[in-house]
Amino acid sequence: MADTPIWLVALPLAGALAALLLPRLATAAAIVTGLLTTVAAGVLLFGVATQGALHYEIGGWTAGLGIMLRADGLSTLLLLMTALVVLAASIYASTYFRKTYERARFWPLWLLLWTSLNALLLSGDLFNIYVTLELLGLSAVALASLGGKRAAVEAALRYLLVGLLGSMLFLAGVGLIYAGYGTLDLTVLARVLEPGPVAWPALALMSSGLLLKTALFPLHFWLPPAHASAPAPVSAVLSALVVKAAFYLVLRLWLDVFANVITPASANLLGLLGAGAVLWGSWQALRAERLKLLAAYSTVAQLGYLFLFFPLLLALPAGPDRDLAAGGLAMLALTHGFAKAGLFLAIGIIQQRCGHDTIRELDGTAQHLPATTFAIALAGVALVGLPPSGAFLGKWQLLAGAVDTGQWWWLVVTVAGSLLAAAYIFRVLGHAFGHRPYPNQPVTVAREEWPALLLSAMAALVLGLAGAPVWGLLEIST
């Protein structure tokens, strides 16, 4: 049990090497790796739930010189979500890429992306985080460029340059921290960091790098083209997981490591940018002409909600109310991960079966692809935040926190954003259910449609109805 963390990194890495060396067996290797890694994530969750946070020293080297892997409640939840989303997207990708050379290029990068996501979520020191951020960025960019069209390459190049800018800013902050405190270990830093001339600029540098990577408004400009022009399974993982990895780091830094350093003004600034993201992202999603662009702008908006929690968490005193709000934040992040992945996979099916993803021309889709349309509707329920989705619980905590702390303006933003989300989802469904006198034959393709359906159902039903353990798990911290 104690060495499960290393399996979460080693298994996908071994799978990536196998897929690289044996291109003919790449798909099979990836699916087997996916199943094994998902089991490992489940075992880890069980271990953390029963024994508390896990620590693993790679090669027996202690922290300082060696690399320490850590798993607590929050990281384990995200690891399990990552595993489920990547596994579902892998099953979809095994039908999406039909040519052998496409598969040979896709699978090694895909499994490397998973490796770096898991390593990032398990990292316990700042430098390891920098390295995994770079690995994540490089594999994500290479995957995003696989679309092959000029727009995809252009978007991938911009994604890469923005990512590099972000990581260099982050590394500069890491350097400052080491100069000031002589350690990079997150738990040690959380004890010794004090407000002052080292911590403030370091936090500013690291946060601006991470906010660039997590595409917080107005630094989101690179996200819509990159996510909208990538192949469908890649878009799903980029939107659901990769931006969230950077968000996870912001959360770790602001709430754990730099907790003594944060001022209410800085938390309000994050909240304000989040509010901008909610309104601007939802508005752009409403105006989008293509489904993929709609989904990408919706990601910008959904990330905004997560940042609205920062001023509330800072204003709430430590206690049950704060724990409830923190659980709401995690719930919203998890729901968005599943829902957005399901949405992107469903859009991929529409794109392949209908040959386009123009919203205006979707009429008759509900007759042609009933299961896929249902998956989009379920994902929509979760994105709007209707009950019984997990997002409903998350947004409820957001509203409760806003009322409790007397910061009613966040309440207005949340309501406006949810109305806009309902508008852009119903706009899609309105077209999809539009009647066409001679529609194409109804098609259901189990292997293509199941992953999207299961992911959307996870977001819209499972998390909302059986999500209570999330709050309990979050209390397990290092």
- Contact positions toward another protein, by CB under 8 A? 127, 130-131, 134, 137-138, 141-142, 145, 150, 153-154, 156-157, 160-161, 164-165, 167-169, 171-172, 174-176, 178-179, 184
- Least separation in angstroms between CB 229 and another protein: 13
CA 443 to chain centre: 31
Query: In this complex, which beta carbon is closest to another protein, that of residue 72 or of residue 185?
Result: 185
Integer Cα distance of 158 and 162 in angstroms: 6
Q: Which is nearer to another protein, 108 or 342 (CB)?
A: 108
Q: How far is the CB of 355 from another protein (least distance, A)?
A: 23
- Read off φ and ψ for residue 393, nearest 5 degrees: -60, -45
> Both tokens of residue 289?
């002409």
- 338 close to 463: Cβ distance less than 8 angstroms: yes
Provide CB contacts within 8 A for 445, sequence distance 6+. 95, 349
Nearer to another protein, 178 or 433 (CB): 178
End-to-end CA separation in angstroms for the chain? 17
For the chain, the helix, strand and coil percentages under 3-state DSSP, each to the nearest 5: 80, 5, 20
Q: Smallest distance from the beta carbon of 68 to another protein, in angstroms?
A: 14
Q: In 3D, which of 337, 418, 334, 347 has the Cα closest to residue 377?
A: 347
Residue closer to another protein (CB basis): 11 or 226:
226
Q: Least separation, in Å, of the C-beta of 212 and another protein?
A: 11
* Of residues 179 and 192, the one with the C-beta less far from another protein: 179
Place of tokens 């390295």: 131
| Cβ distance to another protein smaller for residue 133 or 261 | 133
Minimum CB separation from another protein for residue 172, in Å? 5
- The SS3 call for residue 182 is coil
Least distance to another protein, CB of residue 117, Å: 17
Nearer to another protein, 76 or 123 (CB): 123
Please tell me the distance from the alpha carbon of residue 414 to that of residue 421, in angstroms, as a whole number.
Answer: 10
Q: How far is the CB of 426 from another protein (least distance, A)?
A: 38
Backbone angles phi, psi at 114, to 5 degrees: -65, -45
In the complex, minimum distance from the CB of residue 227 to another protein, in angstroms, rounded to a whole number: 17
- Of 183, 181, 110, 188, the C-alpha closest to 144 is 110
Residue written as tokens 């430590």? 318
Q: How many CB atoms lie within 10 A of CB 215?
A: 28
Amino acid at 18: A
Nearer to another protein, 156 or 463 (CB): 156
Question: Cβ 231 to another protein, closest distance in Å?
Answer: 16
- The nearer residue to another protein, 167 or 335, going by C-beta atoms, is 167
Q: How far does Cα 217 stand from its chain's mean position?
A: 16
**CA–CA distance, 258 with 261 (Å, rounded to integer):** 5
